[in-house]
Structure 1
Amino acid sequence: MPELPEIANRTREIQENLIGKQIASITIIQPKCLNCPPEEFQASLNGAVIQSARYKGKWIFVETTQGWLLLNMGMGGEMILTDPQHLPEKNRLIFHFADQTCLSVNFWWFGYAHYVPTGQLDQHEMSAKLGPNVLDLSPEEFSTLLSSKKGQLKSFLLNQSNLAGIGNAYIHDILFFAGLHPLRPIPTLSSDEIARLYAAIRKGLTMSLEKGGAWYELNLYGQKGGFTLEDLVIAYKDNQPCPSCGTPIQKLKTGSTSSFLCPACQPLDNR
């Protein structure tokens, strides 16, 4: 599933490669991914020129001269910039540009391509409920955000309405870097621990961000991300020794997901 490192890189690639391109036509193979009838989606964007791109959480906002194209890759997928002669075998949408290039979009599961008219972006319910991009917050803003929250730490960080961008791929190493147990109650965190968590989030996400994202995701050019399984520190490495103390990494059921942690470096009891 793409998270902030992957979405931020796809947004940058769109900004670098698609600005100024005009949408000549749109082939729709999977109408279920749209938020309006296919004919309306096509009519709204045909002839539009791409002007800019930004992201929030897992949503990519592509601004055009005729409104917004919103893309969400759901559980994963590919966006490939190519030409009509080299289209991937699998796709759900194809944006054909006037310069004879194409953007092929393939969703594995639950992807979205939504059209939003100019001036109505704040009315798009699925993206409007998202919290701020986690890397956009200052240390003070992050501390203030946590100060009034209750519940367990991992659940809070994964809730996209609190903070947008962290998912279950990167959360394990983030909490390890911070020395915090995933089930720690938020009100028990000290100011020093909150500062450590802020730094750990930036470290955990930036490591992948700078390498183009995870190895199981493709960029706009069809190349795999450079952040590999070997770059993970403790995530998905149960029973292997902790790189800090040698204690076996533990896999623990935490709510609807599993967590990987070092029980010595990340004790639940903070005393």
Structure 2
Amino acid sequence: MPELPEVEAIAHFLREHAVGTAITRVDVSQISVLKTFDPPPTELHGREITAIQRFGKYLAVECTRADEALYLVFHLARAGWLRWSDAISAAAPKQGRGPIAMRIHLASGSGLDLTEAGTKKSLAVWVARDPHDLAQISRLGPDALDVTEKDLSRLLADSTARLKTFLTDQSVVSGVGNAYSDEILHVAKLSPFAQANSLSADAAASLHQALYSVLSDAVARCVGEDVARLKGEKRSGLRVHARTGLPCPVCGSLVREVSYADRSFQYCAQCQTGGKILADRRMSRLLK
């Protein structure tokens, strides 16, 4: 799933390649991806892309005509991606077939496809007069890179959630997903199962420092990269996530995994849990 660093890098890419160009046509090939019907996507035709905004893991493309703006908002979900082409095919993608959900043609001859792999479709697109009118945007918590240590301490004190859940709850802090929450907790040397409001002041400070350093480092690595290379760049910077069975880069212990029904997370027991091995999350307890 693209998280804050990759989404910020995509925003940067679009600011460099799409801003200042008009949309000539929008093809919707997977009708389920479109979550609004008014205004229709055809209202974007002839509008100039004037800005790209990021809200957590959402992107909003500002499209303007005669000083009136509409916004194409999208969320790439778990398996979605943006594919850029300097010379986009003039043909519309086949309806209901293949990974392309939406194709956007630009006046420069370039364009982009919003794609989604797999059979579980979660990629979502809205056309809105104001991004803040969307419930998905209005419910977001503060951006993870903007949260101060004081803010984070207050949010932790108000939450009984496990730290893994706390970090990935977009209504609490926006932008962090499964992968970077693993990385943040590893750097902070905190258990994913620790209760948020049980952290000491020092632990809360460590979590804030890790939150900022992990995300800002990842943004620095990703911004400026071609969109097609962002997935590889993300993988190359990970220390524990998706590295089950490999040595921890800090202590050399094996990276361990906790599995859910449809996902998993990784951690280092030596660095994060005092050597205790966490049970499979489906058992909802620690091994004694």
- TM-score interval, smaller chain: 0.7 to 0.9
How far is 1:261 from its partner? 1.8
Alignment partner, residue 110 of structure 1 = 122
Q: Which residue of 2 aligns with 1:94?
A: 103
> What is the Cα deviation at residue 142 of structure 1?
1.9
1:166 aligned residue (159, 176, 179): 176
Over 3 Å counting, the alpha-carbon distance change for 1:40 and 1:149 in structure 2 is closer
1:151 aligns with 2:161: yes
* Cα shift at 1:162: 0.8
Equivalence for 2:7: 7
Q: Offset of 1:197 from its aligned partner?
A: 0.6
2:72 match: 69
1:23/1:48 contact within 8 Å kept: yes
Unaligned runs of 5+ in 1: none
Matched residue SS, 1:95: strand
Distance 1:94 1:252, change over 3 A: closer
Task: Note closer, same or farther for the CA distance 1:181–1:256 as it changes in structure 2 (3 Å cut).
Answer: farther
What is the TM-score normalised by the length of structure 2? 0.81
Q: Give the partner amino acid of 1:91.
A: I
Question: Who is 1:134 aligned against?
Answer: 144
Q: Residues 224, 235 of structure 1: CA spacing in aligned structure 2 closer, same or farther, 3 A cutoff?
A: closer
Distance (Å, rounded) in 1 between the aligned partners of 2:125 and 2:235? 30
Give the conservation status (yes or no) of the 8 Å contact 2:23–2:45.
yes
Q: Structure 2: which 5+ residue stretches go unaligned? A: 276-288
- Per-residue deviation at 1:230? 4.5
Deviation at 1:47, TM superposition (A): 1.4
* d(CA) in 2 for partners of 1:155, 1:255: 15
Alpha-carbon distance, 1:236 to partner = 2.6
Q: What letter matches 2:81 in structure 1?
A: G
CA contact (8 A) 1:23 1:96 kept: yes
Report the equivalent of 2:131: 121
Give 1:225 deviation, angstroms: 4.4
Distance 1:256 1:160, change over 3 A: farther
What amino acid does structure 1 have at the position aligned with 2:103? I
Which SS does the other structure have where 2:145 is aligned?
A: helix
CA distance in structure 2 between the aligned counterparts of 1:146 and 1:42, rounded to whole angstroms? 41
After TM superposition, the score normalised by the length of structure 1 is 0.85
Identity percentage over the alignment? Answer: 26
1:79 counterpart = 2:83: yes
- Inter-CA distance 104–149: structure 2 relative to 1 (3 Å threshold): same
| Other structure's SS at 2:40 match | helix
Give the count of matched residue pairs: 262
Structure 1 ranges of 4+ moved more than 6 A = 86-89
Alpha-carbon spacing, 1:106–1:242, altered in 2? closer, same or farther (3 Å): closer
